[in-house]
Amino acid sequence: MRGPILGVLAAIAITTTMDATGLTNFSALPLCPLFFLFWRVERLPRVDIGFTWGSRRGYGLAVLYPVLVLGLAVAAAWLAGAIDVSATDWSTARKNLLAATIGTALVTVVTEEGFFRGWLWASLTRRGLGARQTLLWTSAAFALWHVSAIVLPTGFDVPRAQIPVFMINATLLGLIWGLLRHASGSVLVASVSHGLWNGGAYVFFGYGREVGALGIANTAVHGPEVGLVGVVLNGLFAAWLWRHCRP
């Protein structure tokens, strides 16, 4: 287990350093060379890494997750009267949504998804871990990698009371994308879902202390990543997907 542990520690150390020095916008990029380096060192087959196209069913689940959960989060905020779109520029919001979705989907293939649910997943599997153990360990590593971004003054940071909520949601996100990778055998499927999630969550709900296009100020309750509504909805979807995919 030395290789996977050292790889994750290296990723966390590099990203934390970048977050601490004002380079947060680029802090995911070092995962790309780490991903290819460890892949080459361990000589893992491309299929084991998850570089396959996946199935239509997999992509259907990948799209269902962000559309359903974010849609329900919007509905809950609307029913609570928490939405204020009086100052929203919808033309800009649509452009940002498209750019964030496509950009994230393309980049995460060789950064977050490639590293955690590509190389790390394949490395743990080679060492004899079963699907459940691999899923849990990669999800935990994925959540820990996000600590510096949410704790340090990066622009993505939130009030301290919301940090535990974010960590729960980050773990649930890791579980969901890990289950999609498990069910489809493809990190491309997980990357599509990751892109749709980031685009919708950050554009409509905002990030850190920034308010999104829906004008929701109380993200401690209604935020899909830093709010209690997110914990409930992500938890329910993760539980359903766990039973559906049977790791």
Checking if the pLDDT of 209 tops 90, the result is no
Which pLDDT score, from 0 to 100, does residue 47 have? 97
Phi and psi at 94, nearest 5°, equal -65, -40
The owner of tokens 């079963």 is 130
Which pLDDT score, from 0 to 100, does residue 221 have? 97
How many Cβ atoms sit within 10 Å of the Cβ of residue 135? 23
* pTM given for the model: 0.97
pLDDT tens-digit series, residues 111-154: 999 999 999 999 999 999 999 999 999 999 999 999 999 999 99
Per-residue confidence band for 246, with pLDDT thresholds at 50, 70 and 90: confident
Name 102's Cβ contacts closer than 8 Å, sequence gap at least 6. Answer: 195, 199
Cα gap 34→41, rounded to integer Å: 10
